[in-house]
A and B are shown apart, each in its own frame.
Chain A
Amino acid sequence: MNLALRDIRYHRGRFILTSIGLGLLLGVVISMGGIYRGLFADALAVLDSTKADIWVVQQNTNGPFAESSRIPEDIKYRIKLVPGVAEASPLSFQTIQIEKMGKPFRFFLIGYDTNGFGGPPEIVAGRNIRQKHYEMVVAKAMKMDIGEKIHLGLHDYTVVGITGKVVSSGGDPAAYVSLADAQDIQFKKDNDAIRNDRERIGTNLAAIQSISPSQAKYLKQNIAGITESTHTVNTIVARLAPGANLHEVQELISRWNHFRPISVEEQTKILTKGMIEKARMQLGLFRIILLVISAVIIALIIYTSTLDKIRVIATLKLIGSQNRVIIGMILQQSLLMGFIAYFIGYGLILLTYENFPRRIVLEAFDLQVLFVIVIAICTISSFVGIRKALKVEPAEALGG
C-alpha cells in the first residue's frame, strides 16, 4: 500500500494548493530561464538574421549595436573589391520612439539596400519592400496591419509586409525601410533647418573678403551639398566568397584608415558579454535565489507535514513498520509534489510565454536541467522530514 498516495488522496485539497503555489514559483524560475535565453536570442537576432560574415564599422568603435558608428555609404564599393568578399551591403540602425494611440511606441528601424542583403529574414504576411520609398516591413510584435501608415521624419510610411520575430538587443521589435528612407529619417533636416543652414553658410562666406561673390555662391552650393548629404550608414556588412579566409579579409580592411572589420564571433562577444552581461548575471542570480527559496519552502512543507504525522509515524514504528516504509512515504510525497509543481509551472509558462513583453526562449536542455534540480531539491529537502521521522520514538504512540 502506498502510504504517500493515500495521504495525498485524503489531504488532496491541501496538496493541490501547495503544488499550485510551488508550481507558480517554479513557473517564475522557468520564465527567468526563458528570459535569460531570450536576452541572448534578442541580442543576436539582427546579427543572425543578417547572415553577414564581417561588419565594417567606424574605427575604434564597437558599433553598430554597442556604440555609435558612422561611415560613408560609398565605402561599400571598396569593400566589394576586397579579394574574398562576395557581396557587401550598407545598413542603418536607429531606435525610434513615437506616440501611437496616446501610448509610447518604440521600435528599432533598420534601413537596408533593397538590392543588397540585411533586409527582413522572412515575410509572414504581405510582401517585401518593392518601391524605393515610403514602404515598410514591420515585425509581428509591432502589432501593425498591412496598409497601416506611420509618420516618421518628414513622411508617412505604409506597412506592406510583416516579418517574424526580429528585435533589437534591447528587445524592441524591428521595422525595415529602404536605406534611402532610413537615411532621410535619421539625417535629413526639415526645410526650416536647411534654410537656416544655407543662410548661415552664405553669411559666413560673404564675410570672407578674399573671395568674390561668385566664388562665395559656388562654395555655398557645394558646402550645403555636403552638409545636407544623407549618404551615411552605420555599418557595411559583407559576406565572404566560398573558401575565403576571414582573417585575411579582416586584415586587408584593417589596413585602411577609419574602419574596423568585426567578425560575427567578435560581434557576438560584444553583444553578449558586453551589452547583456549584467542583465544575464542578474537573471542568473534571481534564478538561484528562487531555487533556494523553493528548496526552503519544500523543506518546510515536508517538515511540517512530517510533524503532522508524528503519531502516525510512531504508530507505524510501534507495529513494527520498517524504516523504508516511513522514508518512502515522506520521500515519495516530496518527489510527487516537486514533479507536479514542475509541470504546473511548465504548463503555465507554456501557455503564457508568448504574451510576455520580453521574449521567452524555452530550451529543452534548460527545462531538463531544472527538472533534475527540482527533483534533487525535493530529495534533499525531504531529508529534513526523514531525519525527524527517524527520530520519532514508537513510545510516542502511547498515551492520550
Chain B
Amino acid sequence: MDKAMYAIEVENLTKIYGKGDSAVTALADASIQVKPGELVAILGPSGSGKTTLLTCIGLINEPTHGKVVIDGTTVADGGWHGGIDLKRMRREKLGFIFQAHNLIPFLTARENVMVALEINNFSRNEAKARAAELLVSLNLGHRLNNYPSALSGGEAQRVAIARALANKPKVILADEPTAALDTENGRNVMILLKKLAMENHSAILVVTHDHRMVEGFDRIFHVSDGRIDTEKYNSES
C-alpha cells in the first residue's frame, strides 16, 4: 500500500450540535491537511470550535458533514464511514495528549505507558521494555515506578506523551497540553513535541489558546466562530 501523502486530511468538515431551532454549528466547512512529521497548532479562543475539530479528527465526535481521512483511510464522509472500527483506528493510528495529563492514578508511570501497548496486543515483556525505553528517552528513567500522584505536572505530562507515542501512531492529537503547566514546563513540552514529530515522523496537531506556546510550529490555524480563518506558516508568525 502506498504511503499516504497526508497523515490528516479534513475536507469541508461541519459539526452541528442539536436539531431544528436549537441547532448550533460548532464547526463549519473546515479543511486542513497535515503531513507526517508536521507540527501544527490550532489557535483560537474558548468556544471557537477548535476542540470540536480535534474530537472529529480523533474519532470521538461524529462529523455532520465533510470528510476525514487518517493515514489514507477514510474514517468519515458525511458521518462515520461504513464498517470503520473507531476503537481500532484510535488504538493503532492515533495518540492523545490531554490538558490534564489523564494518567491512570493507580498505575505507575511505566504501567501507564504499558497499558496503551497491551491493549494493542503487545506482550507484557515487550510492553515493559518499550515503556521503559520511552520513559528513559523522556528523562523519566528515575520515575518508572512512581505513581502519578508522586510526579510533578511536567513529569506527568511527559509520561502522558510517552503513552501517546507508545504505539508509534501516525497522528498525535494534543488538547491544550500546556494548560496545566507553568510557562517553562509548557515550553519544554512544546519543544519535546516538535522533536518527537521530527523523530517519529508523526503528524502532531495541537489545540491551544496560548499564542506563546506555538513558537517553532510548522503551521498555525486560527479558528473563530467555528471557521478556520487563517493559516500561517511558521516563517510568517
Contact = CB atoms under 8 A, between A and B. Distances in A.
A321 B112 CA distance: 13
Nearest to A11: B106
A252 to B, nearest CB: 78
Interface string A1-43: 1010011011100000000000000000000000000000000
B119 A3 contact: no
Contact of B104 (A315, A322, A393, A394): A315
Contacts of B51: 398-399
Interface in B31-66: 51, 54-55, 58, 60-61
B92 to A, nearest CB: 7
A76 interface: no
A213 B58 CA distance: 123
B117 to A, nearest CB: 9
A1 B128 CA distance: 10
Nearest to B120: A320
A147 to B, nearest CB: 64
Nearest to B51: A398
Contact of A319 (B90, B124, B127, B180): B90
B98 interface: yes
Contact of B98 (A316, A325, A398): A398
Contacts of B98: 315, 397-398
Interface residues of A, number: 25
B60 A395 contact: yes
Chain B, interface size category, equals 35 or more
Nearest to B91: A320
Interface in B71-118: 87-92, 94-96, 98-100, 102, 104-107, 111, 114-116, 118
Contacts of A315: 98, 102, 104
Contact of A320 (B55, B87, B104, B179): B87
Given A6-B106, A318-B60, A400 B115 contact: no
A209 to B, nearest CB: 105
Nearest to A320: B91
Given A1-B118, A322-B119, A400-B180, 20 more contacts: A1-B107, A1-B115, A3-B104, A10-B105, A11-B106, A312-B105, A316-B115, A319-B95, A319-B115, A319-B116, A320-B92, A321-B115, A322-B87, A325-B119, A395-B55, A395-B61, A398-B98, A398-B99, A399-B51, A400-B99
12 contacts: A10-B105, A10-B107, A315-B104, A317-B87, A318-B90, A318-B96, A319-B163, A320-B120, A321-B115, A397-B96, A398-B55, A398-B99
